[in-house]
Each structure stands twice: as structure tokens, then as C-alpha cells.
Structure 1
Amino acid sequence: MASPLPSKSDALYIGLMSGTSLDGVDAVLFDGQAVLGHVHAPFPPALRDELLALNAPGANELHRAALAANGIARSYADVTAQLLEATGHRREDITALGAHGQTVRHRPDGFDGYTTQLLNGALLAEQAGIDVVCDLRSRDVAAGGQGAPLVPAFHRAFFGVADRDVAALNLGGIANLSLLFTDGSTGGFDTGPANCLMDGWIARHRGLAFDADGAWAATGQVLPELLTVLLAESFFALAPPKSTGRDLFHLDWLDARLSPGQAPEDVQATLLELTARSAAEALKAQMPGATSLIACGGGARNGRLMQRLAELLPGVAITSSAELGLPVDQVEAAAFAWLAQCFKEKRPGNLPAVTGAAGLRILGALYPS
């Protein structure tokens, strides 16, 4: 079982999240039960470009990764200062920061099993003047787990109800499902790409960071042959526990599956369909009795994507996490604030049924202020 949401107290935590979409940093102020403030800040363009490049092998990686980790720490410290100013708090008011770092490699199944999130936690503690809890995935991997997804434990505590099966779908760069069963059991896994391929494709062809509301995808037609080829990727057939990232789903992966003459807008429509279809089929396979789906993450703002999910899941009521008091771009940051609270209170933050770890573990490493 996940650690439940504790009672509201005077303890305040900050959660910092930068995800696979690389759209920047979300920071939230969290009191154990609710978000009290939120700030978003984009990465400096040069840092974003370097983080994207570091997802693939390249020259002088150790040096570049160390500099990028410093850059992330400074970006995190800046957005923390903005959040404190916006909420009228001092750093002395905060018990700890839960900081995710930036995932650049995620290979829990191959080699000796590892996951890499770039962040200089010591530098962040030095600059923010607040205790930092980071490196939140590696203990689960050390215990034989995937190290991801970690948000299902928070979803269980925040969204779980006693009278029906509920699913939560996070649509970030990668899509992941949390399955919150009536009996108290919880499942969760990555379903495949969400925004990472769509964002990369529109950036290449139209110079835009993302396809607002799925408007460009809506001008194209789904290419059935391409969709079949994309869905043939072995990851989609794997049984949970499973997790993925840009190690697998990137534009080179897509390019290798394209055929000459395919219109860019049709490819975008097909990528949107890939996201919707893979998530919907995973939900039907793993929680056939689902009647409620809570959507969060940046993809929940993509009207065309949400429309396709509704069409593919006609018996499921789809709502936004915002309707439950947690805006879609704040959920993951709140989850990492909650994980910092779990660490401070010596409570486990993982779910072995989700990640495949050998047991419950306290997640994270502490850099005192």
C-alpha cells in the first residue's frame, strides 16, 4: 500500500519537476494535502538543447552532463526563489525540497540496471538554503524495480476512492497510467509516448514547441500503415511492470519507420493516435472495469487528444485533475513534494506492485541546507 496523505500540518514542502517534455520546471508549495502555490519557468534555451542532446550518446558526455547538472540546480534554485516570493514564504519555512532532476537515461532492464537524473543536489541545497531530497528513483532500481513510474503512489493517496475503480493518466513526454482499484491495490506503468514525439515532430516541421490543442494534428489524416508499424514496437506488448523514455521513443526511432511521401500533418495525426490508442488499449487490458479516468500532465490540455481518448473509451468518464483541485501541470511536482515528505517522515514512497521492486523502500538522498 502507498503511504496515505498525512494530516495537514505546519510542515511545508516544495516539489520541483522537470519532465521528459523538457518544457521547463514546475514548482509547487505543498502542505501535505494541497498545493498552496505554483510557478512555472522554462529552461534557458541552451540548457534545454543540451539536455535534449544528452539523451543520446555523444562526445565528452561526463563533462557536459556535469555542467548540465549544475545548470539544472541553478534553474531549480531560481524557480524556488520565485515560488517563495509569490507565496510570501521564507526558505526557513520549508521543511524540504523534493527535486526530480532531469532524466537523460533510463535503462532499468538492460546492462546492470540504472536510471540517470541530472541534478547537482549539493549545489541546489547551497543556493536554495533548503534541505534537498533528490535521487528519488535509484533506490527502487537497486531493489530490482524499474524506478518508474513513481506517481501512482501519490495518485493512490490523492485520487483513490473506495467505491469504484479509478485510473489516472499522466500525459507528459511519456504517458503513464495509475490503476487505483476499489480493493486498495494499485497498478501503474508507462504506456508509451505522449508528447515527446509530437513535440519533436512539430518543432522540426513548424518551429513550434508543441501542437497547441492538437490543432495541427487535426488537419491531418491518420496513416493506418504507419500506425500499425509504430504499434508493432515490442514495448507496447510488454506486460507491466514497465517504463520507458527517450532512450526508446525519439525522432530517430520515428524516422526509421516512415515512408517517403507521408505528409508531415498526417504523421502528426498518426502520432496523436499512437498516444491515444496505446493508452486506451492499456487501460482496457489492465483495468477493464474502469469507469473513471483522471487526466493530468500537459497532454491533458490537448483537446484533440482528449477527444480521441473519449472516443476510444466510450464507457469511461474522463475528467481533468483540475476538477479535483489539482491543476494538470501541478500533479507531478506535488508528487515529488509528497515523496520528500515521505523521506523526511521515514515512510516508503514506492509501490513494488508498480515498479517490480523487491519491497517497500524509502526513496531519495538528502542534501542538508
Structure 2
Amino acid sequence: MPESRLSGTLPQFDPHDPGLSPERAYATYAELRERCPVAHGERHGGYWSISRYADVRDVATDHATYSSTGGVYVPPVSDSRFPPIDHDPPEHAGFRELIAPLTSGAAAKAMEPEVRAIADRLVDGLAGRGRAELVSELATPLPLDVITRLYDLGPEHTEQIRGYSEEFLAHASGPRGREIIERVCRYWVALFADRRDNPRGDFLTGLVEANRELGATDDELANMMFILTYAGHDSTALGLSNTLRYLAEHPDVQQRLIDEPKLVPSMIDEILRYETPLHWFPRQLTADTCLHGQRMKAGERVLLLFASANRDPEVFDRADEVVIDRRPNRHLAFGAGIHTCPGMALAKLEIRAAVQAVLERIPGFRVDGDVERTDPLEGGGRHLGVRRLPVTW
């Protein structure tokens, strides 16, 4: 590959292309991996797309060269930064420590009985009907209930969080995105003030108390709570909806999981690999560098195509097939390096609890109607999931 900008005749990935269906995205990734593993796009201020597994992993773990301080979105949707995902060391560690009570493996383990109880309750509520719409009745409310219980917030806050998350999802790429973020951050700042005046034994009280040492502003904490809440339930809902869709379309796999329940975790990891919920995340170069012959300059944006990396045939045998007992499965659905998703353990627990509940209570559920996917990709051209999944049993 010549050491020059790529011409328009070569494949490009545009996350904001209105025709970017999941199928088209994966076809573009395959072409990029084969012909143009470091591709330059001219739109949205310019950016590079990295598509091969080894490159995506290496870039994700090199935060010194590929910084996260440029923001989560391309182009930016806010003038603010979202901790900890928009921070590099040493600030990154301080914010991760603030959210550790919610996101650690130990926190997920402690939450397991309650997560299972929520999943069981939701599935029990529909089991006697013989039909359901599994996104609105299970995939969306489960992570919402879990995260608001972690915050110790009441039902009215659950609905507020659901509302602003759905609103932002629909408008993240447009001019309303900034207004929504500003409004939501005012909501969190008001809650911080309330906890200072009326402390409780909850996460938000602990957060404002722990922050005395870190010294973050209320606006920084509000942006952190925005991204933590939005990502914490929406990405889990996407992963769960993809998993439920696959099971609804493959009753033979349902039966195998019932016969071999130990395969449930590996099946979940495989669906996360095959239908990655969040397709890409950006970085910003701190220095000039060269990759696959392409010279990239300090300050330029780089998109790490995690969904493409997860279909790389150089790493995954039968990469375009679902292999529910795949071992090993080193997928990058949760990222890599210091910015690996902090809620990974909790997200996997929620999906596992939901899958086990439906296999126990409504075995043999199958698609009954039109399935609506995120088509084109939503959430700023990044999100892949299911928005409507009607089933019967």
C-alpha cells in the first residue's frame, strides 16, 4: 500500500451513512480487512478506520499513542468529556475508582440474586400469555431495573432514565444531542445536591463523598453518570436482544442449551462476538505514526472497528457463523486495554439470567411476526440490536 491518503475508489466506512444496514456494515468490514485495513474517510472532519483484529487490539491497548481524550463520538456531540471513557491516565483511574462499587466483578456477584429475581419476575409476567414482545418486555426493562436499583432510585427515575436514553439514542447524531445531554446533566447535578443535603446509604451519596478526594466538578460527575447510565443499560439491552433473537430463530440451539446448560455462557460470548452491540469507538492520535503503510498525523481521529475485528477470519475459524461452544473466544465486544467496559461482568450476568429464565419458563419460544432491527445502525452509527421481537410459544 503506498504511503499516501487512500483514494475514493477504495472501500470506506461511514458511520453516519443512512443506508448502513448491519449486512452492509459487515460486508464493508470484510472488504476493508482484505483490501484496506487502514482506510481514510473524509467526512465528519476526517478519520481513519482500523478493521483487522490484531490492529484493533493493539491500538486499543496503546493509550499513549491513541488517546481517548478526543471524545466518544465522531463528530462530537458535546463540548464536555464523559469520564472515564474520555480520559487517559492518570485521571482515568480516579474516575474508574469512583464507579467501582457498581462495576467490579465483586459488585456483580453481590447483585446476582437480585438480577435473577428481576429476570424471573419479568419472564413470569409474560409466561402465561403464550406470546410476548421480548424487547419491550424483557431486554429493555431488565437492565433499566438493575441499574436504577444499583443507584437505589425509585420507579419514577427508571422512567426518566428510559426516556432520556431513548431520546438520545434517536438524536445522538443530530443537533438535539447536545441539548439532551445538557438537560440530563442538570438532572444529575440536582440529585448530587439532594444527596449532600439529605445523605442516604446509596451509591450517589457514596459517590459525592468519595469525590471529595478526587475533586471532580459536579458537571464532570454528571457527564460520568450520563454515559454510565446510558451505556450501562442500552448496550446490555442490545446484547440481550441480539441473543434472544438468535435463540428465537434457532429452537435447536434452545434445546441444546437446555440439555447442556453449561454452554449458556459460551453461547452468550459467541453472540456478542457475532453481533457486536457497539460496532466502533474512536481514538485520537497523540503523535505521527504509520500503520500498514498509511501515515497518520497527530490529532487525527481513528475509529476502532470492534465489530469488524470480531469477524476477522485470521483469528476466528468460521468467523461468519455462530459456533455456540467456541473455545477460545477472545472477542473484543467489550473493548480492550484500560477502556475495557467496566460493566462487563454485570452485563454478562444480566444476559445470562434472562436467557436462563426464558429457557426454563418459555422453552421453544419462536419468532411470530416482523422482527425490527437497528437498521441502519443507531446511536451515532454504532449500535446494533433488535427493537422489536414478537415471539410465541
TM over 0.5: no
TM-score with structure 2 setting the length:
0.26
Which structure shows the higher helix fraction?
2
> 1 or 2 for the larger relative contact order (CA 8 Å, sep ≥6)?
2
Q: Which structure has the larger Rg over C-alpha atoms?
A: 2
TM-score with structure 1 setting the length:
0.28
